[in-house]
Amino acid sequence: MTPLERTLDAFATQATTPQGLKQLAIIAAGLALGWLVARVLRRRVPQGAAWKFGAGGFHRVAFPLAALALTWGARLPLRKLQATPFVDIAITLLVALAVIRLAVYVLRHILPEGAFLRGSERTIGIAMWVGVALHVTGILPELWEALDDIAFSIGKQRVSLLVVMQGLVSLAVSLAVSLWVARVLGARILAAERVEMSTRVVLAKLVQAGAFFLAILVALPLVGIDITALSVFGGALGVGLGFGLQKIASNYVSGFIILLDHSVRIGDLVTVDSRHGVVKAIESRYTVIRSLDGTESIIPNETLITQSVTNHSYTDRKVLVKVKVGVGYGSDVDRVFAILLAAAARQPRVLADPAPGAAIVALGDNGIEIELTAWIADPDQGQVALRGAILKEVLEAFRAEGIEIPFPQRDVRLIPPDAR
């Protein structure tokens, strides 16, 4: 008699008996209390709280886990008094539901939103419920035997289809769990505002690399691969790095050097090879610099190590902005200075300390050249808009007070031929 037949027979004989009613009451109580626990968590712990381990809402996993724990705990004393076929089936279904929701919960934190994530969730759900159905009907052990019979030999090692499937599942689970843990720890590290941003990025990348390496070490023995085989792979990788992957290896090493020595940090205003912009990201192989016109440059990390880099905000984020104007020789220079300084002071981005300044820089062919200097603390916002706002106010003030703005002039003299 299969487990399904035994369950149906027990249900027919015990459904209306006191023993059957006790089991149904235990199942109902476990489901009700589990739903209550999930409801309390949903109310008391808002989405995005600090304890949240990923996307999707942990309270969805709390319901099957709480119901499973309560039902399983109630079954322990009851099994000493009577058979519990109904509770056994309920526990099997709750385990399947908990595993499915936990897998979906982890996947939503690892994979990006999209069709692939939705397809993965459906695949896991269908596979789990099919496994539960096969287990309940008693077909699962026979299926294991059939898969184990399909085998081939590699040397002295017998490899069956069952072993291959178990290895693939073990590898997938190990990688998923390790990537999930790495994402969680990486997010916590990046959120630590007391630590320098570059240091946080380094630690997060080291955690991700360590978690991935640990997952490989755990998964390979489960698949049946000897870990000592990695020594051969390591030697081949070293030879490859020595010949064809020199630039890639150099960029990766340079990336960690940049993050550790803090020579270039995220948010700095830099100039590299005529590229002027703000450092938006420092990845393992490259650095992203966003220019003030919105374009982004992907620069290999090796370039930042081997070539000169102008960091405009290395020790101080204040940057000097210069605005040049020209006035006629008959203009009141002191009044021009006052207009320039007042125009700069009215700009919210201009700092009061150091204060703006104005000075004559040259006596040109057409007029007096005067330069206004002002300090700003947000160089990543650009300087073009600020210069334009200052020049607009200066132009209006010059027109209002009749201050001449010179333009190129040439005196042409015609000499008669007889005067030569």
Find residue 160's DSSP bridge partners.
151
Q: Taking 80 as the threshold, does the pLDDT of residue 412 lie above it?
A: no
Range name among 162-166, 350-354, 385-389, 415-419 with the lowest pLDDT average = 415-419
CATH architecture entry for 249-311:
Roll (2.30)
Q: Of 162, 168, 165, which Cα lies nearest the Cα of 147?
A: 162
Please identify, in words, the CATH class of the domain defined by 319-401.
Answer: alpha beta
Contacts 24+ apart (CB under 8 A), 348-354: 349/376, 349/377, 349/378, 349/381, 349/386, 350/321, 350/374, 350/375, 350/376, 350/386, 351/318, 351/375, 351/376, 351/377, 354/318
- Which residues 6+ apart lie within 8 Å of 110 measured at CB? 176, 179, 180, 183
- What mean pLDDT is predicted for residues 128-141? 70
Q: Taking 90 as the threshold, does the pLDDT of residue 258 lie above it?
A: no
pLDDT at res. 339: 92
pLDDT at res. 131: 73
Q: Tokens 């370039």 correspond to what residue?
A: 303
Residue 46 — φ and ψ, nearest 5°?
A: -70, 160
Range name among 102-106, 256-260, 385-389 with the lowest pLDDT average = 102-106
Find residue 289's DSSP bridge partners.
279, 297
pLDDT at res. 335: 92
| pLDDT digit string, tens, across residues 50-98 | 344 444 455 667 777 778 787 888 777 877 777 777 777 777 777 777 7
Q: Tokens 């199942």 correspond to what residue?
A: 27
**Mean pLDDT of all residues belonging to the chain:** 76
pLDDT at res. 8: 60
Other CB atoms closer than 10 Å to residue 21's CB: what's the count? 13
Q: Is 391 exposed, middle or buried (0-12, 13-18, 19+ CB in 10 A)?
A: middle
Confidence band for 44, pLDDT divided at 50, 70 and 90: low
Q: Is 151 or 243 the better-scoring residue by pLDDT?
A: 151
Q: Taking 70 as the threshold, does the pLDDT of residue 157 lie above it?
A: no
- Which three-class secondary structure string do you get for 347-406? CCCECCCCCCEEEEEEECCCCEEEEEEEEECCHHHCCHHHHHHHHHHHHHHHHHHCCCCC
- What mean pLDDT is predicted for residues 11-30? 72
| pLDDT digit string, tens, across residues 341-390 | 999 999 989 998 889 999 999 988 888 999 999 998 887 777 888 889 99
CA R_g for the chain: 36
- Which residues 6+ apart lie within 8 Å of 62 measured at CB? 34, 37, 38, 41
Taking the model in full, what pTM does it have?
0.45
Q: Of 74, 62, 73, which Cα lies nearest the Cα of 37?
A: 62
Q: Is 122 or 249 the better-scoring residue by pLDDT?
A: 249
DSSP-based three-state secondary structure for 289:
strand
Q: Taking 90 as the threshold, does the pLDDT of residue 168 lie above it?
A: no
Contacts 24+ apart (CB under 8 A), 276-281: 278/380
Find residue 276's DSSP bridge partners.
271
Q: Taking 50 as the threshold, does the pLDDT of residue 104 lie above it?
A: yes
Q: Taking 90 as the threshold, does the pLDDT of residue 105 lie above it?
A: no
DSSP-based three-state secondary structure for 303:
helix
> What ranges do the domains of the chain cover?
3-138, 249-311, 319-401
- What mean pLDDT is predicted for residues 319-338? 90
Confidence band for 281, pLDDT divided at 50, 70 and 90: confident
pLDDT at res. 337: 93
